[in-house]
Amino acid sequence: MEINSLFNVTGKVVVVTGGSRGIGEMITAGFLANGAKVYISARKAPPLMEKAKELSERYNAECIAIPCDLSTLEGMDYFTQQITEKENGIDFLINNAGAAWGEPLEDFSETGWDKVMDLNVKSIFFLTQKLKSLLKTNATIDDPSRVINIGSIDGLNVPAFETYSYSTSKAAVHHLTRVLANKLVKEDILVNAIAPGPYPSAMLGSAVNSDYSFIAEANPRKRVGTPEDIAGLAIFLCSRAGAYTVGETITSDGGLVKTAGHKLG
């Protein structure tokens, strides 16, 4: 019952897609700070490599960069091959890589639809499929492996912006989480989702010109999310403390979804 046992992730091998910035970086930092080895991915190799070096030095831990495009099956195959060559098994898969697209309904493009759905939904399914054997290697009934899919409160609420494919994709992520949880729990792999609200990120920042003040004011907690908020929740889900939580979509949004009378936009 001691806290160091309940939330211990020391020595675990973690994969965080899109782990070099935003929420992905926050989750990566949380695992590194607590003794895990973390593999991170992104499309742009130079900033990814630099971020892995920076995080490794900051937390005196091993952060390994694998540049690839996870919106394609070829990219997923390459990523899986790289992990398989380096590890006999992994403990946690954090499906965080994502994209957004905003256009008026009348002009919304097929490009904007497909780009978002491919990265936000297709990659979660096929990457989980491809990494399942590595997740099974270390999985036991007492210490199951974990998959966390990063959804969004935009998949629960009607979004404030015209991001039709994004909100649809995140609703799909939440339901896919339940479907995968039902299948994989039998193999001691637990699948859950986190639906973040507003956190500082390139994606949200571009929509609000990096001014989060009005978003913070509209939030019941009167602030946006912090690295501790999202990393702590991810560590809970992956630790002994979260080993009986299956198929859930947990909001991390300061109360936006569940508190009546609060809505962005």
What is the set of active-site residues?
A: 166
- Does some domain include residue 101? yes
125: Cβ contacts below 8 Å, ≥ 6 apart: 176, 180
Specify the pLDDT at position 206: 62
- Confidence tier at 212 by pLDDT (50, 70, 90): confident
- Does some domain include residue 265? no
Residue 99 belongs to domain with CATH number: 3.40.50.720
d(CA 247, CA 251): 13
List the beta bridge partners of residue 54.
none
- Does some domain include residue 208? yes
Range of the domain at 37: 3-252
- Whether 220 shows a pLDDT value over 70: the answer reads yes
Question: What percent of the chain is predicted at pLDDT more than 90?
Answer: 91
Element (H, E) at 22: helix 22-33
The tally of domains found in the chain comes to 1
Specify the pLDDT at position 80: 98
Q: SS3 for 46-57, per residue?
A: HHHHHHHHHHHH
- Does some domain include residue 263? no
Residue 1, SS3? coil
CB environment 170-198: b (16+ within 10 A), e (fewer):
bbbbbebbbebbeebeeebbbbbbbbbbb
Specify the pLDDT at position 265: 44
- Does some domain include residue 188? yes
Specify the pLDDT at position 260: 57
- Confidence tier at 202 by pLDDT (50, 70, 90): confident
Calculate the average pLDDT of the chain.
Answer: 95
Summarize pLDDT for 14-62 with one digit per residue, the tens. Answer: 999 999 999 999 999 999 999 999 999 999 999 999 999 999 999 999 9
Specify the pLDDT at position 263: 53
- Does some domain include residue 185? yes
Summarize pLDDT for 134-190 with one digit per residue, the tens. Answer: 999 999 999 999 999 999 999 999 998 899 999 999 999 999 999 999 999 999 999
- Whether 262 shows a pLDDT value over 60: the answer reads no
Specify the pLDDT at position 160: 86
Rounded to 10°, the helix 73-86/123-138 angle is: 20
Across the range 63-88, mean pLDDT stands at 98
Q: In the structure encoding, which two tokens stand for residue 221, read together?
A: 């907690």
Strands (E), the chain: 13-17, 37-42, 63-67, 92-95, 145-150, 189-196, 249-252
